[in-house]
A and B are shown apart, each in its own frame.
Chain A
Amino acid sequence: MNNVIEIRNLTKNYGKYRGVSDVSFCVQEGDIFGFLGPNGAGKSTTIRSMLGLIQYDSGSIRIMGMDSKMDKEEILKNLGYMPSEAMFYPSMKVKDVIRMAAEVRKQDCTEEAEKLCERLKVDRNKKINELSLGNRKKVSIVCAMQHRPKLFLFDEPTSGLDPLMQTEFFELIKEYVKEGATCMLSTHVLSEVKQYCNRVAIMKEGRVKCVDNVAHITKTSAKRIRMVRDGKAEDFLYEGNLNELYKELMGHDISDILIEEPSLDEIFMKYYQEEREE
């Protein structure tokens, strides 16, 4: 598999504020790559560095085999980006914004734009200042997808979208990826990562804490234990040898017990708690 995104030792400082430090990870062709982390973890800084919106201090970013600084224009030709705050020129009509995005790319995207507007139920004759955040997000999706790029970059794409549109959005992503595209998306919504992403990077305090397959991350030795011991209900995350747990439970009155895989949310939280304890 080719690496579509290769980030090596990316470091960016904002004076006294922390940016990102020594960030390294790769996104492979055909991936739907989840980029997880709490607010201020450095997700947007990483994405904005990739797009050339901010100048990073050290490290390297290669996208589709090209250097993000030297070949920025060429990279952006084959990239569709959707920012977390989908903002456009308020006095413009939706159709003019979509047309402008296509014209700058020197592409005729009419057919694809029409298809996307239909599926996402975008009213092209409305003015931008008449749109809610969700509707602006939909316009942003059309702008990011209409030229059928090789790489999608989404910063918190589903915030503001209703559940039906969220599903439609991921359906579109799956279709484009099936046709050979690659997608990287930053999100807080763990269920989205579990449901749609195959690989994930977890960021915390400006550093990458883990990059792995979603399936591998969820396959952990920790188990969620729910039981009724000596008439008292208990619910906890157990990490260790199950034989030890059995031994501990012997001699107690266990009226009910359920042992299950922890959710991605729990694994994610565990990561953070561990880090805090360290």
Chain B
Amino acid sequence: MGTIYKHELKLGWKNLLIWGICVGGMSFACILLFSSMEESMKDMAESFASMGAFSEAFGMTQLSIATLAGFFATEVGTIHTLGGAMFAAVISTVMLSKEEDGHTSEFLYTLPVSRGKALTAKWVAIGTEILAFNLGCTCLYLTGFAILGEKMPMKEFFLYMLMQVMMQLELAAVCYALSAVFKKNKLGVGLGIVLLFYAYDLIARVVPDLEKYKSVGPFSYANAADILSTGEIQTGAAVFGAVVLVLGLVVAGFVYGRRDLAA
């Protein structure tokens, strides 16, 4: 099991590095821009906060964009949330299907390792990559805050990053279950699911009738503006997310453990 885990990490490190540099780097650059934009942001903050549903959808009614926390929640948070979710979807959607797509299933699954163990090793590799991605990004953001010398609510920040890991794991579990079904790499489906959930979260924040269904989506409990303004998470949504995560893994194990593997 350890060999497959190490093998997956070896195969995935370039992907991790590219996504880490892109998402983390972009967000880091965005943080550094705050000092140069701080003055103009003060003028814009009021108008940003009074754009009705649009302001609400992006959390600009809860935090002022003129503060680092507000700027982080509305600008950096969007990049990290969407980028991190896409990264999680990309690595997990192909994690199982790549063996059949690349015709390597006959090599891997004729080695003395059960499908259950291979599945576990691959999932642990996904978890490790997600953790490493967020850890790297966290370090970059902390460096950014230090360079700026601005005050940032650290407890809220770490809670946000923790919820990001949880949200990415939930999305990864959903995509992992899909990967167990597909015999070909269907990256588009994974990315489509992320964008669908993201759009659902935005709509649910704007449309009052959908407010009570907001917690169904994984982005609901990992929203930067919500967490940075209140310092709390939506427990119900997070528990629902954890259930979806476990369900995704159970479905992946059930389907993949029983189905015929293509040559």
Interface residues in chain A, defined as those with a beta carbon under 8 Å from any beta carbon in chain B: 44, 48, 51-55, 72-74, 76-77, 79, 81, 83-85, 87-91, 100-101, 103-105, 140, 143
Instruction: Say if the beta carbon of B7 comes within 8 Å of chain A.
Output: yes
Q: Find chain B residues with CB under 8 A from A81 CB.
A: 106, 110
Task: Find out whether the CB atom of A54 lies under 8 angstroms from the CB atom of B261.
Answer: yes
**Complex CA distance for A249 and B102, rounded to whole angstroms:** 62
Task: Find out whether the CB atom of A90 lies under 8 angstroms from the CB atom of B102.
Answer: yes
Task: Find out whether the CB atom of A54 lies under 8 angstroms from the CB atom of B260.
Answer: yes
A59 CB, min distance to chain B CBs, angstroms: 16
**Complex CA distance for A173 and B84, rounded to whole angstroms:** 51
**Complex CA distance for A76 and B118, rounded to whole angstroms:** 14
Nearest B residue to A143, CB-CB = B107
Number of interface residues of B (CB under 8 A): 21
- Answer whether A77 and B112 are a contact pair too, CB < 8 Å, given A53-B260, A100-B7, A103-B3: yes
Q: Which of A77, A87, A89 interacts with B106 by CB under 8 Å?
A: A87
A152 CB, min distance to chain B CBs, angstroms: 12
Interface residues of B in 1-28 (CB under 8 A from A): 3-4, 7, 11
Nearest A residue to B3, CB-CB = A103
B14 CB, min distance to chain A CBs, angstroms: 9
- Answer whether A83 and B263 are a contact pair too, CB < 8 Å, given A55-B258, A91-B11, A104-B3: yes
Nearest A residue to B110, CB-CB = A81
Instruction: Say if the beta carbon of B254 comes within 8 Å of chain A.
Output: no
Task: Find out whether the CB atom of A104 lies under 8 angstroms from the CB atom of B110.
Answer: no
Residue-wise, chain B 109-123 has the 8 Å CB interface mask toward A (1 for contact) of: 111111000000000
Task: Find out whether the CB atom of B4 lies under 8 angstroms from the CB atom of A104.
Answer: yes
Nearest B residue to A52, CB-CB = B109
- Answer whether A53 and B111 are a contact pair too, CB < 8 Å, given A83-B263, A104-B3: no
Nearest B residue to A91, CB-CB = B11
B78 CB, min distance to chain A CBs, angstroms: 33
Nearest B residue to A104, CB-CB = B111
**Complex CA distance for A119 and B109, rounded to whole angstroms:** 27
Q: Find chain A residues with CB under 8 A from B263 CB.
A: 44, 48, 53, 83-85
**Complex CA distance for A84 and B261, rounded to whole angstroms:** 15
Q: Find chain B residues with CB under 8 A from A88 CB.
A: 104, 107
Task: Find out whether the CB atom of B112 lies under 8 angstroms from the CB atom of A73.
Answer: yes
Instruction: Say if the beta carbon of B103 comes within 8 Å of chain A.
Output: yes
Q: Which of A76, A87, A140 interacts with B111 by CB under 8 Å?
A: A76
